[in-house]
Structure formats: structure tokens, C-alpha cells
Amino acid sequence: MANPLLEVRQLNVAYGDVRALWDVSLEVEEGSIVALVGANGAGKTTLLKSIAGLLRPLGGQILFEGEDLGRLNTKHRVDKGIVMVPEGRRLFQTLTVLENLRLGAYLPKARAGYDDSLDRVFTLFPRLQERKNSKAGLLSGGEQQMLAIGRAVMAGPRLVMIDEASLGLSPILTRHIFELIVALNGQGATVLLVEQNIHMALKICSKAYVMKTGHIVLSGTGEELLADVDVRKAYVGERGSRL
Amino acid sequence: MSSLIQVVINGILLGSMYGIAAVGLSLIFGTMRIIFIAQGTMIVLFAYLVYWASIKAGVDPYLSLLWVVPFAFILGLGLFYVLFRKAAALEDRNVSLLLAVGLMYLIDNLILKLWSATPRGLDIPYSDAMIVVSGIRVSWLRLALLGLGLGSALVVYLFLKRTRVGTAVRAASEDMEATTIQGINSVWVCAISFAIGIAMAGVAGVGMATVYSFDYQFGFVFAIKALVALALGGIGNVFGALAGGLILGIIENLAAYYVGIEWIEVASYGIFMLVLIFLPQGLFGRRGLVKKV
């Protein structure tokens, strides 16, 4: 069997003396959507940051296309196609939409594909084309999330890691963003999704991992986990709404 | 009336120097989040080098721009990587600030050792050249200062707005980690903006060598003037910083002419405090940069 696109093996991460991840392992197959769910403080963002090269693990391995990323810095990981959409979007507020997108395609490889990537982003998010000269800080919440994802698309990603795409968005906008994530995946990008809106994340993913206090406590297909009584009770809630 | 115009014009010309220094401070503040207190001392150091080149080798101070600016840029890169690289990554900005204070006194005393405490100033053959328009006299040398200020502010502005690295500098001054996440080497971006800030000190050094008499203690005073100019203009705006310098120059000259020369500092620091109290974002600064709690 071919290697998964991303494989995390026995990853351990700490902030100073505080342990954040304990022997975390997961696999993301090429072309899939994988969801990572769990309560606040479970270690989801820590895991994404470690994969992005923003945190140095204590031990364990992160393999991309079968190759150990070791101590490779963020720049080289982005160059390999590992791109993160950070929690809270983290747009450059005083820069225009177009400038934000340009920074997403900063590295030489991404810059070479700039025109194609820009077309792709504007096809996916026509709203961004209309507002391309606006300052990012003046966009609505939904537009900002589109820009955050669009900025990641500009890097020509193989793997897009999206941290809390639905944060602060209305249910309608959340559904729209999820549709766009599915569309992005349909264009060939593999997606690793961290979500508090567990119900919706489980519906669109092919596989999901549940995290709790730094451990992976459960994994399975989206349907399996949706059907799992424990997960429903612990994370999805009675009416299947958000936490 | 014509004397008022003369005073204002003199103020603008004098203030160009503050403006150039403030543009440099603004760039360094953007990514390092400290007031680079050694900026004035760097200016004095470059003024000495320009002075030396003129005395020893007969190099025209304005011609010195050609070597002192690239030299300052490279020195800036070196200083960043040796002194500030680690400190810049710390949450606590005080370490960087303390390093800047240390650097200031180190260079001050190095200058004292190398060139003694005697104030220096260049005798420039064309320093008396004036343009006279309906009774208003403008010295060519000081007019050249204004040109230097406008020219260098324009170059910095175009760099920030039109180039890829400049855009990354603006991004990094907003959110360093988000810049790193884009695959941008944000340490390099900080180094570049710091080095351009020091290159601006090189430009100001040429100006200082041509119109001031300076000694080893002049740097700190000048850094404070640049800080006042920056606060007047508002942080995060290149032309605002330059304008802040010009306004400070005008205030100083008006105070000297109408109240008395001993009131210069009282007036300029008084207005500085008033601006900070009522317009903390400065006269041209971005609103929202100074957040209300």
C-alpha cells in the first residue's frame, strides 16, 4: 500500500514543563478530508503547529510522503506543500486582499504558479475578486475566512490544515465555508480539519480522530463516530448542534 | 510676515533631519517593537565617518552617500544577526531595548576614544550658497537636507508598498507568526527592515556632517528628537514620521524666534506631551493602532 500523505507517529510535545501531546499518531490519506475534533485544550492546535514546524516536538516523527520532516523549518514545509490556515484567521488586516494572497504565494515555487493559483482562488471565492483591493480588516467574518483559506491555496498546497474554520461564523456562513472546503478537496487538496463544530466536520470527513487532554482517544470514519453514542454525548450534544 | 515665513522654512529644513531619523525609528519599531534608542548614536557615528572621509580623503560629504548608505545597511544586517536575533524572538521586549541602550553607550564611548570629546563639524566650501526669493533666504545645504528627507522617505515608502519583501515587512510588523506560517523567513524580514532603518541613519549622518557640529554625546539627544518626531507623526506611516520631523523643526524655530532660544526644548517637549495625551496615535497615525482598554 502506498504511504499516506501525512503520517504522525508517537508524537510528544510540551510547552516548557507542561506536556501537551502524548504519543499522538494519525494518518491522512492523499485526497481525503480528515477531521480532528475534541474540546478546547485537547491539543488539536498544538498538533497542527507541530506539523507546520512552528513547535519542536520532544519525540516522535512526522512523515510527509513517507519522508521524516525532522527539524525542517516552516518555510521548507510550506515549500513541500504543507500549509496551515491558523485559528482566528490571522489575516494581515492593514494589507489588501490581493496583498494577503500575494504573501500566500511567497516562495519561488508558489510564485511561479501565482496566476493559476489566483484564478483558482477567485473561482472558488468570487467574493474575494470583488473585494481584492479592500483592506483585509474591513472584510466581513465570512469573507475573512475565505481569504484565510484563499491565502493557503495560493501556496499551491498538497495538505491544507484548517484550524477552526467556523469560529465566529453564523450557521449559514459555516455551512457555506464547509461547502467550499469540500470543493477545495474536490480540486485535489488533502484537508486536515480541526473543528469545534463536530457534527458538520464529521459529516464531510472520511476519517476522524477525537482528542482529549493531549491523547487521541478515538478514531474512525465520520459516520462511525457520528453513530457512536459516546461521541454524541460527549461532543456533539443532544440536537447534534455545536458544542 | 516674511519673517514668519522665514522661520517656518528654517524649521522645515532643520526638521528634515529629525524626519529622516524618525523614518528609520519607525521601520525598526515596526518589526522589533522597540524604540531603537541607539538610532541617534548610529547617526553620529556615520556623521563621523563622513567627516573623516572628507578630512582625510577629501570626499565630498554628499558623495559619501554612495558608500555610507550601503555600509550602514550591511552594518545593520550584522548588528541584527549578532545582537538582536535571539532577543527579537523573545516575548519580553525589554531585552532588545536594553541591548539598544548598551549599544548606544558602547558606540558613544568608542567615538569618544576614536575622535575625542572635541565637537566636530565640516567646513563646506558651498555652505554659504543661498537662494534668495523676495527676501526669504534658503541655504542650499539645508534645502539639500529636505531633498534627502523626501527622497529617502519616498524610497522607503515604495519599498514597503511595491516590493515583495516590503509587503512581507508590513505583514511581519502586524503578525510575526502569521508571516512565518506563509513560509516567509520572518527573521530575515526583520533583519532587512532593521538594516534599512540603519541605512536611514546613514542618510541622516550625511545630513548631520554637513550642517551640525556634533560630539560623542549628541546621539542620545538626537534619538529623543527623532522619538518626539515619530510620536508627533504617528507610528506606522513613513510620510507621517517625516512630517512629524518637519513639524518638530517648525515648533523649535517658532519657539526660538518668538519666545526665546532657551524655550526651544520646553516648547517641543510640551507639545509632544500634549499630542500624546490628546492624540496618542499621532497626527497622521493609523487609528486603532493604539488600542483603548
- pLDDT band of residue A243 (cuts 50, 70, 90) is very low
For residue A198, what pLDDT is reported? 86
Q: Which residue out of B167, B175, B176, B182 would a mutagenesis test of the A interface target, given it has the greatest number of A Cβ atoms within 10 Å?
A: B182
| Pair B168, B189: CB distance under 8 Å | yes
Least confident range of A122-136, A221-235, B108-122, B186-200: A221-235
Q: Which residue is it, cell 507542561?
A: A18
Determine, for residues B183 and A106 on separate chains, whether the beta-carbon distance falls below 8 Å.
yes
The CA-based diameter of chain B, rounded to the nearest angstrom, is 59
Chain A positions touching B178 (Cβ under 8 A) are 86, 90-92
pLDDT of residue B140: 86
For the cut 60, the answer to whether the pLDDT of residue A42 exceeds it is: yes
Query: Residue A116, exposed/middle/buried by CB under 10 A (0-12, 13-18, 19+)?
Result: exposed
| Mean pLDDT over each residue of chain B, to the nearest integer | 91
**Would you call A162 exposed, middle or buried from its count of C-beta atoms within 10 A (0-12, 13-18, 19+)?**
buried
For chain A, count helices (H), then strands (E): 11, 10
Q: Which of residues 65-124 of A touch B (CB under 8 A)?
A: 74-75, 77-79, 83-84, 86, 90-95, 99, 102-104, 106-107, 110
Mutate to test the interface with B, among A77, A85, A106 (most CBs of B within 10 A): A106
Check CB contact under 8 Å for B182 and A151. Answer: yes
Under DSSP, the state recorded for A134 is: S
Grid coordinates standing for B236?
Answer: 506606522
Q: Is the pLDDT of residue A238 over 50?
A: no
Q: What confidence tier does B7 reach under pLDDT thresholds 50, 70, 90? A: very high
C-alpha–C-alpha distance, residues B230 and B287, integer Å: 15
Is residue A134 predicted with pLDDT exceeding 70?
Answer: yes
Rounded CA separation B203/B24 (Å): 10
Is the pLDDT at B289 greater than 50, yes or no? no
Chain A positions touching B286 (Cβ under 8 A) are 94
Does pLDDT of A239 surpass 50? no
CA distance B242 to B174: 21
Tens digits of residue pLDDT in B56-80: 999 999 999 999 999 999 999 999 9
Residue with cell 520646553: B266
How is residue B76 annotated by DSSP? H
Closest CA to A145 of A175, A185, A118: A175
Distance CA A48, CA A54 (A): 9
Cα separation, B19 vs A128, in Å, equals: 38
Q: Which residue has the cell 447534534?
A: A240
Give pLDDT tens digits for A92-114: 999 999 999 999 999 999 999 99
Of B184, B236, B286, the CB nearest to A103: B184
Minimal C-alpha gap between A209 and chain B (Å): 24
Cell, residue B78: 550584522
The pLDDT confidence band at residue B286, using thresholds 50, 70 and 90, is: low
pLDDT of residue B228: 94
Query: Which of A54, A93, A106 lies nearest to residue B182, judging by beta carbons?
Result: A106
Mark out the alpha helices in chain A (DSSP H runs).
44-52, 74-80, 97-104, 108-112, 114-124, 126-130, 141-153, 171-186, 198-204, 222-227, 229-231
Asked if B185 and A75 come within 8 Å (Cβ–Cβ), the reply is yes
Which has the closest alpha carbon to A177: A188, A163, A190, A156? A163
Report the pLDDT averaged over residues B3-14.
Answer: 90
Ordered domains of chain A (ranges, CATH): 6-96+157-170+179-236 (3.40.50.300)
- B17-65 per-position pLDDT tens digit: 999 999 999 999 998 989 999 999 999 999 999 999 999 999 999 999 9
Strand order in the sheet with A59-64: A18-28, A6-15, A59-64, A67-68
Which residue is associated with the grid cell 504573501?
A103
**What is the C-alpha to C-alpha distance for residues A192 and A205, in angstroms, rounded to an integer?**
9
Q: What pLDDT, on a 0 to 100 scale, did the predictor assign at position A168?
A: 87
ipTM here:
0.91
| Alpha-carbon span A134 to A138, nearest angstrom | 7
| Grid cell for residue A225 | 463516530
Q: Give me the mean pLDDT over the B191-211 stretch.
A: 95
Q: Which residues pair with A24 in a beta bridge?
A: A11
Mean pLDDT of B263-291: 80
* pLDDT reading at A240 higher than 50: no
Among A74, A111, A153, most B C-beta atoms within 10 A, so best to mutate, is A74
- Exposed e or buried b for every residue in A46-80, given b needs 16+ CB within 10 A? bbbbbbbbbbebeebebbbeeeebeebbbbebbbb
**A32/A41 Cα distance (integer angstroms):** 25
**Cβ(B146)–Cβ(B16) under 8 Å?**
yes
Q: Is the pLDDT of residue A78 over 70?
A: yes
Helix/strand/coil for A207 = strand
Domain residue limits, chain B: 2-278
| Residue type (1 letter), B26 | S
User: How high is the pLDDT of residue B131?
Assistant: 85
Percent of chain A past pLDDT 90, that is, above it, reads 79
Render pLDDT for B243-274 as a digit per residue (tens, 0 to 9): 999 999 999 999 999 998 899 999 989 989 99
CATH class of B2-278: mainly alpha
Nearest CA in chain A to B183: A75
Half-sphere exposure of A24 (CA within 13 A, CB side): 30
Which cell numbers hold the place of A191? 484537508
Count Cβ–Cβ pairs < 8 Å, chain A vs chain B: 62
Distance from the A38 Cα atom to the nearest Cα atom in chain B, whole angstroms? 23
Distance CA B230, CA B21 (A): 9
pLDDT of the residue at B86: 92
